[in-house]
A and B are shown apart, each in its own frame.
Chain A
Amino acid sequence: MSAIVRVENLHKSFGGIVVADDVNLSFETGEIVGLIGPNGAGKTSLFNLISGVIPPDAGSIFLEDHRVDQLPMHHRARIGLARTWQNTRMFHSMSVIDNLLIATRRYPGESLARILFRRRALDAFRQEATEKAVALLERVGLADKMHEMAIELSYGQQKRIGLARTLMSDAACLLLDEPMAGVEGQAYETIIRVIREEAQAGRAVCVVEHNISFIRDISDRTVFMFNGCVLASGSVEELTRDSQLTDLYFGGEHPQ
């Protein structure tokens, strides 16, 4: 196994609040890492740091041996970092399929010149991208919602579209922020299956989730964060056996 994402000595604080305190982590090829910890532990902040939403105060982030911590967000995404958001962040005035089409790795619609002068290449792209988007929507079980407005679907359905959207770019690393929130029944199995398949295809996956049984079901390794620090790493069983960690998880905000 080789590291797809490597985070070294990462620091970030907002005033007095430390969201990353000397974080060292790596996500390997084909690995599914579960990231757990109480609210405010710095899980989403870590995603924001890796994907480039916020700049780190110190430390470095590597994506397949390229140092990326100084690159703008869109550049990191292009070379292989894809993420979802806790609150789905659908493009609200767009249909489901359009939400996916935006996410293709080399989206030609970004350049007016290309639209003017490369019409044929554009048509070929559009067909290919549409086929890919439809196939992904089928995988997450939402192909029939393709032409509906993304914002009008249920929260759980939006979560699944968000997952499909990140898969459009064939990114090497997937950062999934609470993919299971609001998801129930059949869709639960679907998401687990899709995430596993993507890991088997060689991607590194990191999942933030409060649903511990989901983390147990899916992750190869679980990382426990608290107050911006990585406290422990291992299987869910190993972590839950540690009474100190469970105390922090359930009562962390009011230590006795």
Chain B
Amino acid sequence: MEYILTVMVLIGINVVLATSFNLILGYGGLMSVAHPIFYAIGAYCSGLLAIHLQIPVPLSILIGAGIAMVLSFGVSLPSLRVSGDYLVIASIGFQLGILHVINNLDFTGAAGGLTNIPVLNEGPSRSLVFVLLIAVVAACAVLLVAWIVEGDYGRAITAMRNDEEAFSALGRNAMNIKIVLFAIGSGMAGLAGALYAHYFAYVTPEQFGIFTSAALLTMVVVGGAATTWGPLVGAVLLTTLPQAITFLGLPVSIMAPLQGVIYTTLVIFFLFARPQGLTGGSRGGGGLEAWSASAAFRARRDAE
């Protein structure tokens, strides 16, 4: 039972992460893969504040999310100058740089990780209460993103993603939108990280590396980029799938690389065969359109 509840907590956290990543990548078309670093910033900041300054856990969680939001400028400001593939590289640099710092500071626990983080709630039904909390948070995340991308603001986001230059030439300020999308998306990732830290009481730097970027990317692509329910479907599938594989009883030497192989295979398969993901309609793919094989085909056809 405890195991199932723990998996459900992970699903909830991944729903928040994938949904917020989708806001930036899918809807915004902003090719940043640094999303896990804001997850890390939320987790570490909240954990450290609670450990060293004895700040009450609920407050430290909010502060952690706030810090992640503010530090999102680290990616949103470069995105004003570079876009597309260049932003991918800039964001990887940002992610690995901060991770390197965390890995080498004593007070963050360095490579060994941050331990003895105070938990948010205790008691016999602690996991159940936490599952309910994370479910509410995940629902709010999905609804918040759905609200942001509908109506007048959503129209502006879509237009910016479609053609930033034409968008600017119509008098629209793309800079503001990028900063807001990164701030909200990264703040949500920070919140997810802080919640994670105060449930598992332990975080390590390796949880927030490129592998996590790939996992989140897979969730968004498989579920459906720039759709409301896609990241949710993707997060549920790709959290339970690796758990299910562990029951096959394969040796660790096969298990460990297997996850990475599954993720990359899924991303490539979906970008080629179904860029709109499992839940997307006939036209979809959002910000990932540019990467998808069908878009390449369309561009070739239109050029002829």
A residues sitting closer than 8 Å to B (CB atoms) are: 51-53, 72-75, 77-78, 82-83, 85, 89-94, 98-99, 101-103, 105, 107-112, 115, 122, 126, 149, 165, 168-169
Contact = CB atoms under 8 A, between A and B. Distances in A.
B169 A51 contact: yes
Interface stretch (B70-78, B114-122, B130-138, B173-181): B173-181
B155 A102 contact: yes
B168 interface: yes
Given A94-B159, A107-B152, A115-B151, A102 B169 contact: no
Nearest to B176: A110
A109 B169 contact: no
7 tightest A-B contacts by CB? A109-B152, A77-B171, A91-B162, A89-B166, A78-B171, A73-B168, A103-B170
A69 B225 CA distance: 38
Contact of B158 (A51, A53, A77, A91): A91
B169 A73 contact: yes
5 contacts: A74-B171, A82-B170, A109-B156, A115-B153, A169-B170
B177 to A, nearest CB: 7
A85 B159 CA distance: 15
B156 A102 contact: yes
Given A89-B166, A110-B176, A103 B171 contact: yes
B165 interface: yes
Nearest to A92: B162
A54 B87 CA distance: 21
B167 interface: yes
B171 A109 contact: no
Interface string B86-103: 000000000000000000
Nearest to B152: A109
A156 to B, nearest CB: 15
A165 B166 CA distance: 11
Contacts of B172: 74, 77, 102, 107, 110
B199 to A, nearest CB: 30
Given A110-B173, A110-B176, A98 B168 contact: no
B171 A107 contact: yes
Interface centre among A52, A82, A108, A112 (most CB of B within 10 A): A112
Contact of A109 (B151, B162, B174): B151
A226 to B, nearest CB: 26
Contacts of A82: 169-170
Contact of B152 (A74, A83, A91, A122): A122
B163 interface: yes
Of B172, B174, B283, the most chain A CB neighbours within 10 A belong to B172
Nearest to A171: B171
A219 to B, nearest CB: 23
A250 B210 CA distance: 56
Contacts of A108: 152
Given A53-B165, A93-B162, A94-B162, A102 B170 contact: yes
Contacts of B148: 112
Contacts of A78: 171
A94 B158 contact: yes
B67 to A, nearest CB: 21
Pick the most buried of A52, A77, A93, A165: most chain B CB atoms within 10 A of its CB. Answer: A93
Given A51-B169, A94-B155, A110-B177, 16 more contacts: A52-B168, A53-B169, A72-B168, A77-B170, A77-B172, A89-B165, A89-B166, A91-B162, A91-B167, A102-B155, A102-B170, A107-B171, A108-B152, A110-B172, A112-B148, A169-B170
